[in-house]
């Protein structure tokens, strides 16, 4: 009996330290990538450049390494075009906290994932009407970039 109890305690402790495979949190759209992390990042950079979107890359893993820490490959891209975001901010200035747009590429449990904010969630968060003109274009832009990046 003690052996079974000890085994159960060990199993629970081991599970507590494992990285769970969880769906994307509310407000995020996640797509499994078909390529390595490095190739996925290259594909995202190409997709942004092809659309002439200004972007900034934050390499979370490199920043962690600079602090003597380790982190799975993780890179955040912040990108946008004032013609798309400004109309949303005219409707709701608080949308500026969620703009410019963002896309996260990370390696998780041996697979690459591409995640981004669901623009409809952002609209609800800032009380932007669902039929606001820029939303459809932004929704399509994000979906197209994510699909190209992930390799769908």
CA atoms within 13 A on the CB side of 77: 26
Between the alpha carbon of residue 33 and those of residues 81, 100, 104, 116, the distances in Å are 25, 23, 12, 13
CATH no. for residue 44? 3.30.310.70
Residue 68 within any structural domain of the chain: yes
Is 128 inside a domain boundary?
yes
What confidence score (pLDDT) does residue 25 get? Answer: 76
Indicate whether 18 belongs to any domain: no
In 3-state terms the chain splits into helix, strand, coil percentages (rounded to 5) of 50, 20, 30
Q: What is the pTM of this model?
A: 0.82
Helix (H) or strand (E) holding 79: strand 74-80
- 1 in a structural domain: no
User: The domain containing residue 54 runs over which residues?
Assistant: 27-150
Local confidence band at 5 (pLDDT 50, 70, 90 cut-offs): very low
When mean pLDDT is compared across 5-9, 47-51, 86-90, 122-126, the lowest value belongs to: 5-9
Select from 8, 11, 72, 73 the least CA-distant residue to 39: 73
Would you state the pLDDT for residue 93?
A: 98
**Residues 6 or more apart whose Cβ sits within 8 Å of residue 90:** none
In which element (H, E) is residue 33 found? none
Question: Does residue 124 lie within any of the structural domains?
Answer: yes
Q: For 94-106, write each residue's pLDDT tens digit.
A: 999 999 999 999 9
Whether 144 has a pLDDT exceeding 80, the answer reads: yes
Number of folded domains that form the chain: 1
């Amino acid at each position: 009996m003690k052996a079974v109890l000890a085994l159960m305690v060990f199993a629970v402790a081991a599970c507590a330290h494992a990285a769970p495979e969880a769906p994307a949190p509310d407000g995020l759209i996640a797509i499994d990538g078909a390529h390595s992390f490095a190739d996925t990042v290259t594909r995202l950079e190409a997709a942004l450049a092809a659309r002439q979107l200004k972007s900034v890359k934050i390499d979370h893993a490199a920043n962690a390494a600079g602090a003597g820490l380790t982190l799975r490959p993780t890179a955040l891209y912040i990108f946008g075009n004032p013609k798309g975001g400004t109309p949303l901010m005219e409707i709701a200035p608080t949308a500026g906290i969620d703009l410019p747009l963002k896309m996260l590429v990370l390696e998780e449990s041996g697979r690459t994932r591409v995640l981004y904010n669901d623009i409809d969630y952002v609209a609800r968060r800032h009380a932007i009407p669902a039929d606001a003109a820029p939303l459809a274009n932004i929704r399509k832009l994000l979906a197209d970039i994510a699909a190209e990046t992930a390799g769908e």
